[in-house]
Each structure stands twice: as structure tokens, then as C-alpha cells.
Amino acid sequence: MYLALLVIFLQCSELYAQGKVFTFNRVEIKVEPSDKVKNGAPMSIICHADISKNTHFQLKHNFTFLKDGKLVFMAMSDKEDARYAIPVAKSSDTGEYECRVNADGKMGFSKTIYVWVAGMTKPILTADKKEVSEGETVKLRCELPEEVPPLEFIFRKIKTNSEPIEKRVPEQNQNFSEMEYYVEAGDNILQFDCFGKRQVKSGWESSQHSNKTLVTVKEPFIKPTLITRPSNNITEGDQIEFECSTVAAQMRGIEIIFQKNRTILNSVRDKKFLKYSILATQEDSGEYLCKVEQGAVSKTTKRNVFVSELFPKPTLSASMTQLDESKDLILNCSINGLRRANFSILRKSSSGDILLKKSRILAIKVNVNDTGSYTCKAEVKGIIKESKPVRISVYAPVSKPTLSVASGSPEVVLGKPLQLICHSVMGTPPITFTFYKGDEIKKNVTNDTYATFLDEDIGLNDNGGYKCDARNNHSSGVKTSNILNVTVIVPIRDASLGSVPYGEVEVGSDTAFLCSVKEGSWPIDFKFFKKTDHEVLLHEVREYSDRTIWHKKTMKRKDTGTYYCMASNRASVNVRSRPITISVILAAWQKGVIAAFVLTAMAGAGAVALWWFLRKKKKAKGPSMEMSGSALAPNLTSEKLTRPPSDGNYYSGSGYIEDNENHMKSTDESKDSMENRHSRIYGHPDAT
């Protein structure tokens, strides 16, 4: 019975469980009162789960709220709605919101919604000092207590009657920033404020400006006073006195500097004033500056001074500025509208001016050493003024120039450039040199003592006609060099080699080798070589001709080989001919002797063979014949073998075979040699 009840209970539970079916339709998120909220106002983020069920039953909902992907709030409810309430919205609440719902293992996700809390809290500004001295620093702190980084802080320094000076400081990890300000001279009363900025979806948002902070500035010393005596109507020759002064709370460390433009004229330390005096000249007109410094503080007063001219600068005139040596020169110093002054005439020098005469006029007979710059000075009431310099040039005549080739030798290889040098030993520079090729001007050069000319257009017929001129500002005029004749060297071209006889030469005979060139300047160096493991020089000769013949006496078998010749001249280019091959063979009479020896040997061999045949035949006829001949045969044989040869037709052993073969070979070679012998030098294009 109990078992039956248990089964019924379990089946009912299973049927009940199978009846709880639900699904998420959507999850919605919204903001009240709107997605743009004013800073400080309340707002709520509401999440709603839209769920469909097959029957009415209770579900537990776990709501999770996220801002910019980070968890900000969680709630559990039987209802399908949850609220994330923010009583006081701050700018830091701006961001992307979303919610997630978990119900019985199933998840639902909302879309994201952007919420903008408009406006930022007002920053707080504090200063570490309320009173500072010029040259000191003040530290400021700007804080946005309710904001979260990243933030940007803007500090402002506010001076009366001027635009605020801003400094920006980004802060990535904190909601405050600090800034130090240097207090400059003249910053009597300073005001500071600050404001903050943050980046939102639509751009940058700024906070209100902070409270203004007032900082009082103390002066360690007052702005200096600059006085001149006389104060106006200053003329050259007057004594001018400058006085620069200040008032300081503490004189220690005070420095007064007096300067004109960038030049320091005088300075004092730990004193209240400075004095400086000068004898006025027109060059003393300008702006003067009195500067007082103490530590990092500097204050300046400026004053313009104008000095009237007492007399103008003198003028130096010359009778001539360019003249020949030994001519007369007159220098005259004058002042426009003034005749009474102390004059002096000087020559400028790197080591200092050289006084020539204390007078307004100087007359001299010049030489080349008098070339230089001259000035004159005039003095009135202690004021000295100097004229502009006058350049005087004294000229010695140029000497006759010499024209030479830069390489030293008056010759040039055809196709190569020719460099010429024109030089004058004497003459005051600058000297103008003119180069001629024939009657044609090729180049003008102005230099001190020499000039060069590069002729890159050398032809076969350019064998002379170069000259040069030299001239300067001397009245003597132009000097001309001697005519320079230049030899054009034609390089060697196309060397060739031939011989008589050509190809095969008999032992003991002479051979003539002919080496010639198609083109090249004389003399020509000819060299004859034979090729072996290394080059062997056989003969060399210098010829004033385009060819040479070398007679080689008594040719030997070892002279067989390959020959070539080489030709060169002053162009320093070696030209090599094509090689020819010479074979040295036996002469005709030598071949005849060898043939006779061979025929004699063959005849002797035939006689021996006949004797041997007859002897064998006699043995075959019977014992009687054998017995009758047996006594003679040994004697005959012995006599024949031991008899010495009576002429040169007898050879034995391998020596006979070798000589016979050589004789046959020589006979053939002699025949070929006889067919090729003639009077021309074969293998040579110029042979006759």
C-alpha cells in the first residue's frame, strides 16, 4: 500500500515538473527620467524581463547591472522588473549600461543604453602660500572630489589688464592635479583659478571654474632709475655721465649692470647705484639699458641717447688708384666745410695702422710694395674720425711667358688630352693669360702667376702652333710666349708576323721573320718571342720604319714551335701579332742517305734468307749430301757471322729498325718540304 502511494507521488511530481515551461522573449533596459540627466539630479536604471510561461508559477530572477562592462549593481526578485537607483547623479555615472537576467539557469541580455550625466562638479583650488616675493614659486592644487579619472585640469594665472595664462595637465589616475608657478618681476597681485574637463561620447565636457585664489607679491627691489647728464642737446666732444640706481630691502646679492645694446659697459655688486661717463661721439648714439638683478629677479630701464655730429668724417682722395711702379701718387685728406683739423695719413696693416705723415697731403713715388689700403684721420676737440679706406694698386710689368707641357715632354698620344702651362716669372697679379691653338683663341684665365689649358681635341695633324699671352694692368701691354710645337704620337695598330720559308724549314737552313705594323709613329721597338712553358725573348730591335726582318741562322729540330712578335712605341701600348707555327724537318740529302742505308739493309737480309732456304733444301736430299755439306756449313756460317761490315749499310738490333723508320718518315717530310719551298714570306700580309 505504501509502495503504491510512493509511486503515485513520484509520478505526480514528474508530471508537475514537466509542466513548468518558460522562455525569454526579450530583456529591456531604460533610464528614468531620461538618458540625459543633470549633474546632482536623481536617476534610475530599470531592467525588465519579458518571459512567457505555459502555466502560472513563481520564478526567481537574478538581475545584474553593468556600466562600461563592469558590475555596478545586483538584485534578486520574484518580479520581472528590477531598479538600480542613483539618488544623486554625478558625471562619473556617464557611460554605457546593460542588464542581464538569470532565471532557473536560463539567461536573457538587454541592449546597451548610453546615459549622459551632464555637467561636472565645481573644482576646489588651494595655494600653499598667500604671500610670496618676486622670484619665488607658489604651488597650486586643483581637485574634483566627485569625479573619476581620466581628467584634464586647466590652471589659469590672472593678471590685471591682461589675458589669463593657461597651463593644462592631464591626469590618468587621480582626480586632482598640482602646478607650480614662478612669480615674475611686476607680478604685484596675482589671482588663480582652475577648471576640469572630461571626455564624453559627444566630445569634451568642462566643469565650472573654481574659486579664485589671491596671492600677494612683494618686491625685493624697485625698478631701476637711469639718468643722463646732460639730458639732451648732446654734441660730439661733450662729456656724458650716466647714473643707474635702485632701492632694495636688502642690498646683499644686488647686481647693477649697464650696457649699450648687447655690450656690457660697467657693473657693480651690493651697491645702490652705478656711474659711467664717456666723451661723446656720434657712434655713442643709441639705446642704453640699466638692469638690476637679485637671484632670479631682473628689472630693466631703457633710455635713448642722441649725439649730434661735430664734423663729418674726412674723405681721402687719390690722384690714381691703379698705376705703374715708379709713378707719382698724391693722397689728399679733406673735410667738407671744415679746413681746421689735425690730419694724418696712414696705411692699413694686419699688425696695425702705419702712420705715413701728419698732414692732409702725401706725395710719393710708388713701387709694387706700396700696394695696399690707405686712410686718413682728422681730430677736432679730441674727437677723431677716420675716412673710408682707398685701395691703391701698383703694377710691375709681366715678363715674357713660357709655355710648356705639364708632363714635361713636348709630345702627346693621339686621342689623349694635352695639358699646357703658361707661366710668367715677373708681373703684379692678377695676370690674364690667353691660350692660342694656331690663330684661334682657346681659353682666357686670370690668375696670379700661371694658368693651365687642357686641349682634349688632339688630331693627327696637331703638331704645333700653341702659344700664350700674358698681361696685367701695367701700361706696357701684352707679352707673348714662343710657339710650342707638340709632336703627336700615333699608337701602334695591327702587328703581323710572317716567315721565309713558311710552315716547314729544313734542318740547318736559315729563316727570315718579318714583323710589321699597319700604323704607328717611329721609332718602333720590335720584339720576337717563342712560346714555351714561359715566354722566351729571341730578338729585339728599334727601327725607324714600320717593319723589320730578323734572320735566324741554322735552324735545328728544337727550333720547332710557335712564334709571335710584339711592337710598341712612345705611346706605351704593346701590340701583339697572331702566332705562326714553324716545323723544322730533315734536309733532302739527309733523307737520301737514310734511304740508301735502308735499301742496303734490306738487300743483306734477302741474301741471308736465300742461303737459309738453299741449305734446308740440300738437307732434304739425303744423308750423303748432309754429310758432305756438314763440314763446310759451320765454317761458312761462322765466317759469315763474325766478319765485320765493310761499309755503312749494315745495322743490327733495334737500332736498325729505329733508323729505318726515321728514314722513311724523313723521306716523306722531305717530299712535302720540297713542294712548299718558294720565294714569298708566307703568313705575312706585307710579304713580297
Task: Report CA-CA distances (Å) from 688 to 480, 512, 542.
Answer: 53, 12, 22
All 3 cell numbers of residue 680? Answer: 714569298
pLDDT average, residue stretch 175-189: 87
pLDDT average, residue stretch 358-387: 91
CA angle 24, 30, 31 (to 5 degrees): 155
pLDDT average, residue stretch 130-156: 90
239 three-class SS: strand
| Single-letter code of the amino acid located at 354 | I
Q: Are 316 and 390 in contact (CB under 8 A)?
A: yes
Tell me which of 272-281, 411-420, 512-521, 545-554 is least confident.
411-420
Residue 10 pLDDT grade (very low, low, confident, very high; cuts 50, 70, 90): very low
Q: Report how many helices (DSSP H) and strands (DSSP E) the chain contains, helices first.
A: 5, 54
The rounded distance, in Å, linking the Cα atoms of 49 and 62 is 10
Residue 666 pLDDT grade (very low, low, confident, very high; cuts 50, 70, 90): very low
What confidence tens digit (pLDDT) does each residue in 538-573 have? 899 999 999 999 998 888 888 888 899 999 998 888
Contacts of 646 (CB under 8 A, 6+ apart): none
Q: Are 327 and 318 in contact (CB under 8 A)?
A: no
What confidence tens digit (pLDDT) does each residue in 297-350 have? 889 999 999 999 888 889 999 999 999 989 999 999 999 877 788 999 999 988
What pLDDT score does 598 carry? 65
Report which of residues 92 and 600 the model is more confident about.
92
Quickly tell me which residue has 705611346 as its cell.
571
- Burial zone of 468 (CB within 10 Å; 0-12 exposed, 13-18 middle, 19+ buried): buried
Question: Model's pTM, two decimal places?
Answer: 0.44
Q: Are 400 and 329 in contact (CB under 8 A)?
A: no
* pLDDT at residue 70 greater than cutoff 70: yes
* pLDDT at residue 246 greater than cutoff 80: yes
The rounded distance, in Å, linking the Cα atoms of 336 and 316 is 11
End-to-end CA distance of the chain: 153
All 3 cell numbers of residue 24? Answer: 525569454
Find the helix or strand (DSSP H, E) in which 469 lies.
Answer: strand 466-471
Report which of residues 631 and 53 the model is more confident about.
53
Q: Among residues 128, 131, 139, which one has the least CA distance to residue 190?
A: 131
All 3 cell numbers of residue 217? Answer: 607679491
Q: Among residues 308, 281, 286, which one has the least CA distance to residue 379?
A: 281
- Cα dihedral sign for 495, 501, 503, 507? negative
The rounded distance, in Å, linking the Cα atoms of 424 and 450 is 6
**Helices 588-620 & 623-630, crossing angle to 10 degrees?**
130
Percent of the chain beyond pLDDT 90? 43
Tell me which of 96-100, 490-494, 534-538, 575-579 is least confident.
534-538
pLDDT average, residue stretch 466-482: 91
Task: Report CA-CA distances (Å) from 410 to 205, 421, 466, 543.
Answer: 92, 12, 11, 22
β-strand pairing of 390-395 with 372-380: antiparallel
Exposure class string for 221-259: b at 16+ Cβ within 10 A, else e: beebebeeeeeeebebbbebebbbbbebeeeeebbbbbb
Task: Report CA-CA distances (Å) from 474 to 330, 393, 398, 400, 552.
Answer: 19, 10, 8, 14, 70
Percent of the chain beyond pLDDT 70? 84
pLDDT average, residue stretch 254-266: 93
CA angle 639, 643, 645 (to 5 degrees): 150
The rounded distance, in Å, linking the Cα atoms of 319 and 145 is 91
Residue 651 pLDDT grade (very low, low, confident, very high; cuts 50, 70, 90): very low
The rounded distance, in Å, linking the Cα atoms of 380 and 490 is 79
What confidence tens digit (pLDDT) does each residue in 192-239 have? 999 999 888 778 888 889 999 988 888 888 889 999 999 888 988 889
* pLDDT at residue 268 greater than cutoff 90: yes
The rounded distance, in Å, linking the Cα atoms of 215 and 647 is 150
* pLDDT at residue 639 greater than cutoff 60: no
